[in-house]
Each structure stands twice: as structure tokens, then as C-alpha cells.
Amino acid sequence: MDKTIESLFYIICNEYKCDLGKKASQKLFYFFEREGINLNLRYCIHYFGPYSSKLSDFMDDLELEGYISIKETQNTHKIEWVYNDTTELDSFINSPDYMIAEKVMKYFGDKTPKDLEALSTIDYISQKMDSNQKNEKDILNRVKEIKGSKFNNSDLKKYYKLLQKIELV
């Protein structure tokens, strides 16, 4: 089991008390990697934005080993931390990765899964585009091609500005 992923789930569930589901987890972990935590999750574009099958497998393993509980609700899977022993987390809390996690949670921890989907898709598309096409208009047009009418223009521009503010795009 990857102790960094385990520690990040603990932090999201306990320190930030996010209403965490699988979709939000995928997007938060995407941003943990984008900000510099080496998780080697290998993201690809998916229906709901960047997705890692490796992270999905880790979530299943964490549930099987009794670290998290994944409960299916009406329209999502709610993830809760249930493991009691947190002694192994001390080394993570004193690491540079913890500081990165705090930054990601500061900017993205209060976002809805739909917000996170838009933000991560914009960033993912930006990373995959040629540098000569990397401008707000081209990036957002490409996102609209993929997402259709799921997000309106003003929201996409707002999300883009946030990503610019934290220097991801």
C-alpha cells in the first residue's frame, strides 16, 4: 500500500472534512500530482475529466484493508476514513508533500465535484496542448468540445482564472 496515498486520504477526510466521493478524490489527487507530489497515478481523460485507474484500485485496496469506507449514496460514493491508528502519518505531516497537500486543499478543498471536474479538465487539456495553442480561448474551446454544454462560458473562464492565479495554466 502506498503510504503517501493513504496519508492524503486521511488528511482529506479528517483535517479538511471534505464531503468526499470517488470523483472528487480523483480530481484532488490529480492536483496533488500536478503540484508536485509524486504518486505515479497516470491520468488519462475520461468522461468526468482526468481519471486514474491506479487510484481507483488504491481506493478499493484501502477499503479492503479497513482504512476507508466507501458507501454508495443516491448519486455518488461517499468516502470516510475509518482506520484508528495514525502513528504512521507523523512522518508525512513533517514532509514537503504535506505542504503541497495543504496548498491543494486551500484552493480546491471546498469545490464541488463538478467544479473539480471542470478545473482538472481545463488543466489537463492545457498540459496536453502544443505551446503555440496554449491560450485561454483555445483551451476553453477544447474543453467545450469534450464537455459539450455541461459548463457555461462564464464558469469556465472563472475556473481558468483560478488556475492562472495558482500558476497551473
Q: What pLDDT does 44 receive?
A: 93
Cα(34)–Cα(108) distance, integer angstroms: 13
Kindly give the residue spans of alpha helices, DSSP state H, lying in the chain.
Answer: 3-10, 22-34, 53-64, 89-93, 96-108, 113-128, 136-147, 153-165
Exposure b/e, 53-82, CB count within 10 A at least 16 = b: ebbeebbeebeeeebbebeeeeeebebebe
Residue 20 main-chain phi, psi, to 5 deg: -95, 130
pLDDT at position 1 is 55
Closest to 56 (Cα-Cα) out of 79, 26, 30: 26
Residues of the chain with pLDDT under 50: none
Which pLDDT score is estimated for 106?
94
